[in-house]
Chain A
């Protein structure tokens, strides 16, 4: 059974919009981050008149790494504060990769800081590197707020270990996620020793104010965008499951009803993090893309049953309350810079492509959708796509394995043959990582510049 959810007024309005590409604010943001790091180093530089000996060098190396770690820690938390400018303009996927990268780097700085400072203190007390453990115990006991900092650092060790690739893959997502939430506690616990024992903050009241400001601002953003904004969204829109529909074997659509859903500001190509208030599902939220342009009374997601969570979606009962956070994601019409657009979908990656196919502004002949699946049976939402293609005068192509199981050839040559002016297209792409990598290379081979290939990847 299939469902059609096309032709909403909101969707039609979106197709009328003009093409206005918006630049991602990534470059100015990165420049600001570097400027902040330079300011932090300057703070150290200004407060350190001289370094007397080897021991001083070790201690000062510890101070530099500590200051940088404290600065970056705030940014690592900020990256996950779900700030709209990051989620919708830079892109949730890119921000998540930044978060992972800077998180790893920051933890390395934290550990280097602990080691260097304790080594330096041991030397200062006339001991050697071998006494570093005893020195650490002494410092934790004697210096203000160091007990808290030690607990926080212990939490960081646990968080770091559970986030190492192989460990994380072997862990249930929910466990990992809840361990990861301990980061907030760890950051809180390690914050205070920075203020009370940090030389630079004791010597420079301005720096202390700035530090409180930085951490205060990040806390405010986290509270606002991770707690208050979703609460307001869900109180206003009161979403519930309307129906669950099996599209093809293994792929289900969940229809979600609610109040004034068009007011959520969701665009085609975006996703929400969904939490279904059903047994075993209420404690974790999962990102699923909208598979149709939002209607005032209805949203739809389409999901392939691959994980625990997605398999359970099938059993959702109508009337189940839904808690959503979003909309997130930057793969929307505003990424586009040209008149012509090619949408490439692999498997269940059709969901955001289906919504974009319906709503991307364009005249007849501007839009092309290439849909890759294993067999024609797996082409979920095909009826809807055909209908949209007919109404909008768009091209719809599919590529499936041959009856012998041979993969279709999506190469630069083939793409060029099918779409001769492919290098004049913007390309939106969604699919599993291997597929996306292959298509990306074929597209580059066919002359599409990288900046016009829009893709979201949640691979770390």
Chain B
């Protein structure tokens, strides 16, 4: 029966809400120490593109070719193809739009585009509805990668530049990449199967130290995209910082972390031995 003051209540509620939200926003740091520029939703986005003069780097009997980075309205798209025996065995986006809706769109479209590419063996793939810009950019970058591949095989220099012997990617291989820096060695760990998909780590070792760590395979699809985006950059950093496989798991991505550590350990074993 106490008197109510509707106007006062409205003003108070509005003021409290607005100032609460503003306070929360201002308490957040403006830059994140843990996330890297590669925090896109595409699983392979953690692997920064390092193109050889020909646009190809070799791993495990297969050639990788990076397409041109294509600008779209929402950000850059860049495709990397893995080619073995003249066929595209894997397609991945090493750069894709990120942030806000783009994260979702990328997560939605890139895995599908990757699959379509492997199935079609050409740039003649369907766009993913709801992610038209990303699809278009993907196709352009894909086409440029295919063009490079054609040129490379014509001059027969692309595939021969990769000096590896081992066939199956799951056996783990160590190769001194032709495109690598002097004395730096790139070692790819064994594939570690996790509940959500395979994880495979590649490290670059120089002067006995890990100078770079990246995941060449990581779980993708649905939630896994986000988890991969969340955990892989962190794990990469940790691996470089620690110099060994005793790194912290990323909370919320335990399976991926465990797989990462296994693959990292196998890579370290190979690098050491």
List residues of chain A with CB under 8 Å of any chain B CB.
41, 44-45, 48-53, 56-57, 59-61, 64-65, 101, 105, 108-109, 120-121, 124-126, 139, 141-144, 197, 199, 202-205, 436-437, 440, 450, 453, 455, 457
Roughly how many angstroms separate A89 CA and B230 CA in the complex, as a whole number? Answer: 47
> Does B101 lie within 8 Å of A50, measured CB to CB?
no
User: What's the least CB distance linking B160 to chain A, in Å?
Assistant: 43
Roughly how many angstroms separate A222 CA and B230 CA in the complex, as a whole number? Answer: 38
Q: Which of A60, A141, A205 contacts B25 (CB 8 A)?
A: A60
Roughly how many angstroms separate A450 CA and B2 CA in the complex, as a whole number? Answer: 9
> Does A143 lie within 8 Å of B31, measured CB to CB?
no
Residues of A within 8 A of B226 (CB): 202-203
> Does B24 lie within 8 Å of A124, measured CB to CB?
no
Q: Say if the beta carbon of B21 comes within 8 Å of chain A.
A: yes
Q: Say if the beta carbon of B53 comes within 8 Å of chain A.
A: no
Residues of A within 8 A of B85 (CB): none
Roughly how many angstroms separate A455 CA and B28 CA in the complex, as a whole number? Answer: 47
Can you name the residue of chain B whose Cβ is closest to the Cβ of A197? Answer: B104
> Does A457 lie within 8 Å of B99, measured CB to CB?
no
B residues 74-99 near A (Cβ < 8 Å) are 74, 99
Q: Which of B32, B99, B223, B227 contacts A49 (CB 8 A)?
A: B32
> Does B74 lie within 8 Å of A125, measured CB to CB?
yes
Roughly how many angstroms separate A203 CA and B250 CA in the complex, as a whole number? Answer: 12
User: What's the least CB distance linking A309 to chain B, in Å?
Assistant: 27
Can you name the residue of chain A whose Cβ is closest to the Cβ of B32? Answer: A50
Residues of A within 8 A of B125 (CB): none
User: What's the least CB distance linking A96 to chain B, in Å?
Assistant: 14
Roughly how many angstroms separate A453 CA and B2 CA in the complex, as a whole number? Answer: 11
Q: Say if the beta carbon of B211 comes within 8 Å of chain A.
A: no
Residues of A within 8 A of B32 (CB): 49-50, 52
Can you name the residue of chain A whose Cβ is closest to the Cβ of B74? Answer: A125
Roughly how many angstroms separate A272 CA and B1 CA in the complex, as a whole number? Answer: 23
Residues of B within 8 A of A126 (CB): 73
> Does A41 lie within 8 Å of B24, measured CB to CB?
yes
Q: Which of A143, A436, A450 contacts B104 (CB 8 A)?
A: A143
> Does A436 lie within 8 Å of B21, measured CB to CB?
no
User: What's the least CB distance linking B132 to chain A, in Å?
Assistant: 8
Residues of A within 8 A of B24 (CB): 41, 44-45, 64
As a 0/1 sequence over residues 12 to 26 of chain B, the CB contacts with chain A under 8 angstroms (1 = contact) are 011001000110110
Residues of A within 8 A of B35 (CB): 49-50
Residues of B within 8 A of A48 (CB): 28
As a 0/1 sequence over residues 105 to 146 of chain B, the CB contacts with chain A under 8 angstroms (1 = contact) are 100100000000000000000000111000000000000000
Q: Say if the beta carbon of B34 comes within 8 Å of chain A.
A: yes
> Does A49 lie within 8 Å of B34, measured CB to CB?
yes
Residues of B within 8 A of A455 (CB): 1
Q: Which of A45, A50, A108, A120 contacts B100 (CB 8 A)?
A: A120
Can you name the residue of chain B whose Cβ is closest to the Cβ of A116? Answer: B21
Roughly how many angstroms separate A45 CA and B23 CA in the complex, as a whole number? Answer: 12
Listed by A's residue number, 27 A-B pairs whose Cβ atoms lie within 8 Å are A45-B24, A48-B28, A49-B29, A49-B34, A50-B29, A51-B30, A52-B32, A57-B25, A60-B25, A64-B21, A64-B24, A65-B17, A65-B21, A120-B100, A124-B99, A124-B102, A125-B74, A197-B104, A199-B103, A202-B226, A203-B252, A204-B252, A205-B223, A450-B2, A453-B1, A455-B1, A457-B1
User: What's the least CB distance linking B93 to chain A, in Å?
Assistant: 18
Known contacts A143-B104, A205-B223: does B131 contact A60 (CB below 8 Å)?
no
> Does A143 lie within 8 Å of B130, measured CB to CB?
yes
User: What's the least CB distance linking B106 to chain A, in Å?
Assistant: 13
> Does A50 lie within 8 Å of B31, measured CB to CB?
yes
B residues 217-232 near A (Cβ < 8 Å) are 223, 226-227, 230
Roughly how many angstroms separate A45 CA and B26 CA in the complex, as a whole number? Answer: 12
Roughly how many angstroms separate A139 CA and B1 CA in the complex, as a whole number? Answer: 47
Roughly how many angstroms separate A108 CA and B74 CA in the complex, as a whole number? Answer: 30
Residues of B within 8 A of A50 (CB): 28-32, 35
> Does A105 lie within 8 Å of B13, measured CB to CB?
yes
Residues of A within 8 A of B74 (CB): 124-125
Roughly how many angstroms separate A44 CA and B23 CA in the complex, as a whole number? Answer: 14
Roughly how many angstroms separate A141 CA and B102 CA in the complex, as a whole number? Answer: 14
User: What's the least CB distance linking B129 to chain A, in Å?
Assistant: 8
User: What's the least CB distance linking A208 to chain B, in Å?
Assistant: 9
> Does B1 lie within 8 Å of A450, measured CB to CB?
yes
Roughly how many angstroms separate A48 CA and B24 CA in the complex, as a whole number? Answer: 11
> Does B230 lie within 8 Å of A203, measured CB to CB?
yes
Can you name the residue of chain B whose Cβ is closest to the Cβ of A135? Answer: B101
Roughly how many angstroms separate A49 CA and B21 CA in the complex, as a whole number? Answer: 16
Roughly how many angstroms separate A121 CA and B2 CA in the complex, as a whole number? Answer: 45
User: What's the least CB distance linking A91 to chain B, in Å?
Assistant: 12
Roughly how many angstroms separate A52 CA and B131 CA in the complex, as a whole number? Answer: 24
User: What's the least CB distance linking A156 to chain B, in Å?
Assistant: 18
User: What's the least CB distance linking A150 to chain B, in Å?
Assistant: 15
A52, A60, A205, A453: residue with the most chain B Cβ atoms closer than 10 Å: A52
Known contacts A51-B30, A142-B131: does B1 contact A125 (CB below 8 Å)?
no
Can you name the residue of chain B whose Cβ is closest to the Cβ of A196? Answer: B104
Can you name the residue of chain B whose Cβ is closest to the Cβ of A440? Answer: B1
> Does A61 lie within 8 Å of B25, measured CB to CB?
yes
> Does B21 lie within 8 Å of A141, measured CB to CB?
no
B28, B73, B102: residue with the most chain A Cβ atoms closer than 10 Å: B28
Residues of B within 8 A of A56 (CB): 99
Q: Which of B30, B100, B108 contacts A124 (CB 8 A)?
A: B100
Residues of A within 8 A of B104 (CB): 143-144, 197
User: What's the least CB distance linking A429 to chain B, in Å?
Assistant: 8
> Does B1 lie within 8 Å of A143, measured CB to CB?
no
Roughly how many angstroms separate A109 CA and B9 CA in the complex, as a whole number? Answer: 16
Roughly how many angstroms separate A309 CA and B21 CA in the complex, as a whole number? Answer: 46
User: What's the least CB distance linking B248 to chain A, in Å?
Assistant: 16
Residues of A within 8 A of B29 (CB): 49-51
Residues of B within 8 A of A109 (CB): 17
User: What's the least CB distance linking A392 to chain B, in Å?
Assistant: 27
Known contacts A51-B25, A64-B24: does B252 contact A121 (CB below 8 Å)?
no
Roughly how many angstroms separate A65 CA and B24 CA in the complex, as a whole number? Answer: 12
> Does B1 lie within 8 Å of A437, measured CB to CB?
yes
> Does B252 lie within 8 Å of A124, measured CB to CB?
no
Known contacts A124-B101, A124-B102, A142-B130: does B1 contact A52 (CB below 8 Å)?
no
Roughly how many angstroms separate A52 CA and B30 CA in the complex, as a whole number? Answer: 5
User: What's the least CB distance linking B254 to chain A, in Å?
Assistant: 11
Residues of B within 8 A of A65 (CB): 17, 21
Residues of B within 8 A of A105 (CB): 13
User: What's the least CB distance linking B126 to chain A, in Å?
Assistant: 16
